[in-house]
Amino acid sequence: MKAILQKALNGQHLEKSEVITLLASAGAEERALYEAARTIRTRYFEDRIYLYGFVYFSTYCRNNCNFCYYRSSNQIHRYRKEPDEVLMIAKQLAESGVHLLDLTMGEDPVYHEKEFTPVLSIISSIKEATGLPVMISPGVVPNNIIDEFAKRNVEWYALYQETYNRDLFATLRLDQEYDRRMNAKLYARTQGMLIEEGLMTGIGESMEDLADSILAMSHIDAKQLRVMSFVPQKGIPMEQTKSPDRGLESKTIAILRILNPKSLIPASLDVDGIAGLASRIDAGANVVTSIIPPNTGLAGVAQNSMDIDDGSRTVEGVRKILKSMGLRTGTQEEYQREIQV
Ligand code: SF4
């Protein structure tokens, strides 16, 4: 373990067997993994942490992913926010001090039918009104729509594979093509957009799968790499599947950090809310995602109500915790420098 961490600290490549050893660590060895991850984060980012505002503006989706509350066959309340309301929420988030606006939607059939015209117009008005970088998380879209995002200088395209095991992918993302999803993000990268890749733990993967996914996602030139734990949702086929131990998510964050020292790695508030922030930052994360303005009737992705209306999932709530950990939020200029291509 010591030798593996020393290799990591020296910037050397890690083998799959070494990644598996890190994933299996516990006790003092697990703590040493987090310490190495923090050392590497400090080397490149010092004490700076970045904050992302989250706007889930349509919870309609044409897909039927087995792990997702918003799968098309789940009989739930859904919304599609009006453009004015999305703009207002984006402005509120910008004023509160986030560095980026993450505009997320399910694969809403209405927007697909309209060739994304309303979404492109929302993006343009948000960019004009806030001046902030934007991440679009629209699911899989055709290349001509990615071209439109790139033309509007949308900085980021987020699209998560969740696993690099194709068989497992097929059981999770029903009737969706692995390569189509992968190729969409790779295409966005060729158009100058930054990409965010993501994994999920607790979805039936083996340690080998997880190690394969961690290593593979570290080689697709993704500037941001996220991992989230599966959270069971009412009405989905995986409703009875247990949420995994959070140590696995933290260890994955730490391994992603040591393999990708200069990457942005999120601590998502969407899994355990504000209570889960410190452990993820301690594991080497340097971005806090899923910050929302209170009382806006928005949903989360994995947790559709946690902390959403009580005001603690806000910039102010996050800053307090970061300060108590001896960290600070970076300036907007510092964030701009991080994401320069
Ligand atoms: S994970 Fe995304 S694509 Fe799949 S059902 Fe949920 S919102 Fe739709």
Instruction: Return per-residue pLDDT of the chain as tens, 341 residues.
Output: 999 999 999 999 999 999 999 999 999 999 999 999 999 999 999 999 999 999 999 999 999 999 999 999 999 999 999 999 999 999 999 999 999 999 999 999 999 999 999 999 999 999 999 999 999 999 999 999 999 999 999 999 999 999 999 999 999 999 999 999 999 999 999 999 999 999 999 999 999 999 999 999 999 999 999 999 999 999 999 999 999 999 999 999 999 999 999 999 999 999 999 999 999 999 999 999 999 886 676 767 666 666 665 656 889 889 999 999 999 999 999 999 999 95
70 CA: nearest ligand 1 atom = 6
**β-bridge partners, 72:** none
Pocket lining: 68 vs ligand 1, CB cutoff 6 Å: yes
Determine the distance separating the centroid of ligand 1 and the alpha carbon of 70, expressed in angstroms. 6
What does the H/E/C string look like for the chain? CHHHHHHHHCCCCCCHHHHHHHHCCCHHHHHHHHHHHHHHHHHHHCCEEEEEEEEEEECCCCCCCCCCCCCCCCCCCCCECCHHHHHHHHHHHHHHCCCEEEEEECCCHHHHHCCCHHHHHHHHHHHHHHCCCEEEECCCCCHHHHHHHHHCCCCEEECCCECCCHHHHHHHCCCCCHHHHHHHHHHHHHCCCEEEEEEEECCCCCHHHHHHHHHHHCCCCCCEEEEEECCCCCCCCCCCCCCCCHHHHHHHHHHHHHHCCCCECEEEHHHHHHHHHHHHHHCCCCEEEEECCCCCCCCCCCCCCCCCCCCCCCHHHHHHHHHHCCCEECCHHHHHHHCCC
**β-bridge partners, 268:** 289
Structure tokens at 19: 């990644």
How far from each other are the two terminal CA atoms of the chain, in whole angstroms?
35
Contact of 40 with 286, CB cutoff 8 Å: no
The residue whose C-alpha atom lies closest to atom 4 belonging to ligand 1 is 65
All structural domains of the chain with their residue ranges: 2-338
| Amino acid at residue number 309 | D
**β-bridge partners, 137:** 104
Pocket lining: 162 vs ligand 1, CB cutoff 6 Å: no
- In testing the pocket of ligand 1, which one of 107, 171, 181, 231 has its CB within 8 Å of the most ligand atoms? 107
Assigned fold of 2-338 = TIM Barrel (3.20.20)
Contact of 287 with 50, CB cutoff 8 Å: yes
Confidence at residue 304, expressed as pLDDT on a 0 to 100 scale: 63
| Amino acid at residue number 275 | A
Q: What count of other Cβ atoms lies within 10 Å of the Cβ of residue 179?
A: 9
Confidence at residue 157, expressed as pLDDT on a 0 to 100 scale: 98
Structure tokens at 132: 């902030």
In this prediction the pTM is 0.96
Confidence at residue 313, expressed as pLDDT on a 0 to 100 scale: 82
Structure tokens at 155: 């900085």
CA dihedral (255, 261, 263, 266) in degrees, to 10, reads 40
The residue whose C-alpha atom lies closest to atom 5 belonging to ligand 1 is 71
Instruction: Give the orientation angle of helix 16-23 with respect to helix 207-217, to 10 degrees.
Output: 120
Measure the CA–CA gap between 54 and 293, rounded to whole angstroms.
9
